[in-house]
Amino acid sequence: MKQTLRSQPRWAANLRALMQAGGFNPRSLSLKAGLNPTAVRDMLEGRTRFPRYDTVQALAEALGTTPAQLMGGEPKNAAPLKSANNPDNDLDLLTEIIARLQEVAAEYTHPLNPRDFAGIVTAIYRQLQGSKPRKAAAVSLRPKICNLLEYEALRRRSRR
């Protein structure tokens, strides 16, 4: 079922505005972002309620903006990409860590209290903060998260 412009989520409206400003059609943006040729069309037609972070990141790079701007901010015509030393890149990294931790914790059905959740996010962030190619480091989040969740489960059992 095709969504009307009025019922589109904010991120889809932002995507549409940024595409128009950059002169992209759905197929050309999909290809520039390295996605399936129909990925953007599917998003705009409502087949994707909320895209994965790596998809958003690829689209933001292709559009010359940030994932945060694409997903939640007011659409602006092709905001410049952030530099490597910009705090917004830290926000992007933290967002990725939090999203992956939520996914893995749900798969493991491992509830975390807020303090443990923050501790795991902080530990992974500190490990990745100094890594040169952060994109490559972010790919290795899942094993780090799994190890920390297993550690946390062992720690909990030892307290009993």
pLDDT at residue 51 in the model: 82
pLDDT at residue 152 in the model: 75
Q: 117 is written with which tokens?
A: 């959740």
Phi-psi group of 110: left, alpha or beta (phi > 0 → left; psi -120 to 50 → alpha; rest → beta): beta
Report the distance separating Cα 25 and Cα 17, nearest Å: 11
What are the residue boundaries of the structural domains of the chain, listed by start?
5-71, 87-159
| CATH code that applies to domain 5-71 | 1.10.260.40
The tens-digit pLDDT sequence of the chain (160 residues) is 444 445 677 788 889 989 998 899 999 999 999 999 999 999 999 887 778 877 888 898 899 888 777 877 554 444 444 444 455 567 777 888 888 888 888 887 767 888 888 888 888 887 777 665 555 555 677 787 887 777 777 767 766 6
Contact between 43 and 15 under an 8 Å Cβ cutoff? The reply is yes
Report the distance separating Cα 75 and Cα 78, nearest Å: 8
pLDDT at residue 160 in the model: 63
Report the distance separating Cα 25 and Cα 109, nearest Å: 40
